[in-house]
Structures are given as C-alpha cells and as structure tokens.
Amino acid sequence: MTNTMTLTLERQDLMPGRQLIGAEWREASDERRLDVTDPATGAVFASVPDGTAADARAAVDAAHAAFPAWRAVPAKQRAQIIKRWNDLVMAHQEDLGRLISREQGKPLAEGRGEVAYAASYIEWFAEEATRANGDVIPAPVPGRRMFALKEPVGVVATITPWNFPAAMIARKIAPALAAGCTVVCKPAEDTPLTSLALVKLAQEAGVPAGVLNIVTASRERTPEVVDVWLDDARVRKISFTGSTPVGQHLARRSADTLKKLSLELGGNAPFIVFEDADIDAAVEGLMVAKFRNGGQTCVCPNRVFVQAKVHDAFVDKLAARVGALKVGPATEP
C-alpha cells in the first residue's frame, strides 16, 4: 500500500463504510477496519469493517427474525420492491460503475456495463417473483388430490467473488428476495464497496430491516464468518461463486445441517484453432475471450490449442495484439 486517496461520487453516501445488520449500519464488533485499495496503484482509497464471528451471528439473528414477515409479503409486493431496486441501480449507473472500476480494476466502460448486467438480473427476478407457481398432479388413486406448493427455504447465505462484484451479488440476492427468503451476504474482501452500495440501494427501494444483511471481512477473518453460517441450522442455503477447493469445503461443512447448495466453481476453458480457421478472426476472438475483465472470468481460456500448420502465424499475430494492450488505472481511456 502507498498513499491514501479518495473516490468522489455524485452520491457519496453510496460508500457507507459500514456493514448492514438488521436496521443498523454498524462497525465490526471489535471496530477493526479493512483497507480497500486501487489494484492499479496499490493506493488505499477507502475502508470497511473487518467483520467478526459475532457480526456473522448477529446477521443470522436479524435475517431469521425478519423471515416470517418477509415470506408473508405477497409476491406482487415483493416484485415491486425488487423492481424499485432495479430502477435505483440504473439511476446510479455512473457512480456504481466508478466504484467497480476503482476497487476491481476493470475499465470504466466495463464497470458501467456490469451495472447494467447486474440490473438485468434484478429486473428478471422481480418479474419472476410472481411466477413461482405450484403444480397440480393427477392422483394415482381415486378420491385423492395432489398438488405441490413452492415455499421459501429461509435464511440464505451468499458468498460472492471479486471479478463481478455487482453482477454476482445481484444474481444471488435478487432471486432469494423474490422467493421470500432473507439473506446474509459476505462479499469478496477485495471488492466490498460495490456490494455495500447495492445493499444500500436495496434498502432505499423498500427491502425491510433484517431481510438483507451484509458482513464485510478480510481474508484472515472470512473463514470465521462463513463457519458461523455453516454451523448455524437456521441458515438453510449457501450460494457461492469461486474456486473448486472452497466449494468442496462448503459442501462438506453443509452436510451436517443438510443445507441446500448452489455452487458455481472454477473452470478450465480451452481455446482451439484449426488450420482452416480465419487466423485474424481467431486472434480477435482469443483477445476478447482471454482478456475480457482483465482475464478474470470463469470462462476465460487458460489453454490454447493451435494446429501445427497455422501455429507460427497465429502466435505472431497474437503476440502483436497482446503487446499493444495498455495496463493502467481503470479510469484512463
């Protein structure tokens, strides 16, 4: 880390600098802070609470207490709240895009694009909230009627990655809220600001106190935060995007309390070039596939197979394109 700097937004309160538990934006229980740095420079430009196991338990307490009332809210009303959240996200696209770019490092244009991508998930699940229909099933014996109803599972714990800090939290939280579940969230330690801003906008949209809670934590403290949720039987589902080893750990630890799991784990994508390919088009395709989002997506290729006949021509053109890439602060053109 080098010098300390700031980030100026049109709405500076979108950087609350606190974690939301119940109705309260609060510090960590021991008041320890976690620095947020610009990956282009290493400069510290913000800080957030470094949450503890006590904070994680408090978040579950709040979510569990809020669940009966939230599940009873009519689906149409939940949909309206989530739609307002979508509208607020798009209304603050520029500020959110700047937050993403500064803490994650992607170009500002990609940051703005991710905000729209995140909002598309929120809008989708706002509309799906009213479509959680059950089923009427033909009975196998006379005089019986069979039907299935869909019910919210309860408290959902979401653990999100740093590569798409807005899109991933939206994709996990929006369906949980739409279904009538309450949420405890732990964003990636590298990119907590975007998540906090989105949670603040959800609060402004009308999500009731306790329905959505967020705990920020460092790499050092993340295991103790997540372990609280894994051990607590009130947490009925875990949703995680990240590495395969961590996903395996979550699956093993969730077995004791029979939690439901949604795991999106690491990929190992190939890029294959055959000798009859358009080499220029193949190079451009690889540049997009490999270097989009700084090369940090779950489908970025990390293996390139090229047939021998076109190998040298492909490598020469690819090397020239890679050499022309510009590395620097995300806000620069």
Torsions phi, psi of 158, nearest 5? Answer: -115, 135
Please check whether residue 108 is in contact with residue 97, taking contact to mean a CB–CB distance below 8 angstroms: yes
Q: How far apart are CA 186 and CA 218, in angstroms?
A: 10
Could you confirm whether 264 is annotated as catalytic?
A: yes
Q: What is the 3-state secondary structure (H, E, C) of the chain?
A: CCCECCCCCCCHHHCCCCEEECCEEECCCCCCEEEEECCCCCCEEEEEECCCHHHHHHHHHHHHHHHHHHHHCCHHHHHHHHHHHHHHHHHCHHHHHHHHHHHHCCCHHHHHHHHHHHHHHHHHHHHHHHHCCCEEECCCCCCCCEEECCCCCCEEEEECCCCCCCHHHHHHHHHHHHHCCEEEEECCCCCHHHHHHHHHHHHHHCCCCCCEEECCCCCCCHHHHHHHHHHCCCEEEEEEEECHHHHHHHHHHHHHHCCEEEEEECCCCEEEECCCCCHHHHHHHHHHHHHHHHHCCCCCCCEEEECHHHHHHHHHHHHHHHHCCCCCCCCCC
Catalytic: which of 27, 128, 264, 284?
264
Could you confirm whether 298 is annotated as catalytic?
A: yes
Catalytic: which of 27, 94, 284, 298?
298
Q: Which residue matches tokens 């979108």?
A: 14
Residues with catalytic annotation?
264, 298
